[in-house]
Structure 1
Amino acid sequence: MILNPDHVTIAVADAGRAIAFFALLGFRKDHVATIDGGAPARYMGIPGMKAQHITLVLEGANPPFEIQLLQFDPTAGTDLGAHPTNLRQRGFNHLAFRVDDIEAATAHLVANGVTLLSDEMDYISRKLRLFEGPEGITLELVQRGGSDASG
């Protein structure tokens, strides 16, 4: 039934900062649309919604994969409760990106000021590392075939 992931949508306060962040991971800006009410706003259940909808595509991904950013006007409020990187909250937990070389990917992120949220871990034949993305969301690097691989 399901073929593959298609996209993830993230609401951001600063689209420019988010675009620059995801460029570090190989995403490029593909399409920008303005939502000013209309069918897209009704579809999302927010009839009066005004926002920029920015589509970022992962270069070379087959099948294609996108991150879609929503920058609301005015900027949506934030819940001052649990921080988004709190992995114990219900709802969205994290988004993982597969890489060929987790050490090189980590070094690239650190060199660009990205905050790491964990040490590297070997788990179920994978190397894993959590890091913080735009708006404090939790993201993860995954390299399959970690040192605990059994074959």
Structure 2
Amino acid sequence: MFRYVHTNIIAKDANKLIDFYKKVFHCKSINETRDLRGVWLDGLTGLNDAHITGEHLLLPGYVEDHPTLEIFSYDKLEGTIPSEINRPGIAHIAFEVDDVEATLAEVIRAGGSNFGELVTAAYPNGKEAVFVYARDPEGNILELQSWRQINQT
């Protein structure tokens, strides 16, 4: 069996970031909070005395218990490297929303920030997309997108 399970974000303040994703993106608690430590976690992470806390949040648009956004925090955090859209590795998390501009405003009200310009792009088969990048309160890059059918002449 193969299935996508979760994406993990390591947060400076897991509770604050969890609240942000619940409020802005309608992620839901599924009663999977974590307070993990032990020899097995040290072996898995390669860290001594690792301790992580956080929660799995059901991503919007799904009705079961997966996939989730896993937001954890370690007791001991390394220094941060600012997220950049062209840095190798995972670049952003994308959410399809009804109204990109309204959701961007909500991101900003909830402590996030704008990143780049709002753009509209034509796609094949008469589709049009509105996109913008933003940052969550801890600087992780988000993509907001919405799609619509346009009239073809």
TM bucket (normalised to shorter chain) is 0.7 to 0.9
Q: 2: distance between equivalents of 1:146 and 1:115?
A: 29
Match of 1:112 among 86, 110, 113: 110
**Which stretch shows the higher mean deviation, 107-116 or 88-97?**
107-116
Mark the runs of 5 or more structure 1 residues left unpaired by the alignment.
none
Q: Distance in 1 between matches of 2:98 and 2:75?
A: 38
Check 1:120–1:2 CA distance in 2 against 1; reply closer, same or farther (3 A cut).
farther
How many residues are treated as equivalent by the alignment?
145
- Percent sequence identity is 21
Deviation at 1:20, TM superposition (A): 1.5
Which sections of structure 2, spanning at least 5 residues, go unmatched? none
Distance apart, 1:145 and its partner CA: 2.6
Q: Distance in 1 between matches of 2:33 and 2:56?
A: 6
Larger-Rg structure = 2
**Cα drift, residue 139 of structure 1:** 0.6
Match of 1:129 among 123, 129, 132: 132
More strand by share: 2
Q: Does structure 2 conserve the Cα–Cα contact (< 8 Å) formed by 1:53 and 1:70?
A: yes
What root-mean-square deviation, in Å, do the aligned CA atoms of Structure 1 and Structure 2 show?
Answer: 2.8
Q: Bigger shift: 99-108 or 37-46?
A: 37-46
Displacement of 1:41 in angstroms is 4.3
CA distance in 1, matches of 2:47, 2:144: 33
8 Å CA contact 1:35, 1:41 repeated in 2: no
State whether residues 12 and 134 of structure 1, in contact with CA within 8 Å, keep that contact through their aligned partners in structure 2: no
How far the C-alpha of 1:100 sits from its partner, in A, is 2.2
* Distance in 1 separating the partners of 2:134 and 2:149: 18
Asked if 1 retains the 8 angstrom alpha-carbon contact of 2:111 and 2:136, the reply is: no
- TM-score between the two structures when normalised by the length of structure 1: 0.78
Residue pair 1:98, 1:141 contacting (<8 A) in 2 also: yes
What TM-score do the two structures reach when normalised by structure 2?
A: 0.77
* 2:28 maps to 1:25: no
Superposed displacement of residue 137, structure 1 = 0.9
Deviations, residues 74-113 of structure 1 (Å, cap 9, x unaligned):
2x1114xx521x2121112111111122233223223334
**How far off is 1:21 after superposition?**
1.0
| 2:140 pairs with 1:141 | no
Between the aligned partners of 2:15 and 2:85, the Cα distance in structure 1 is 26
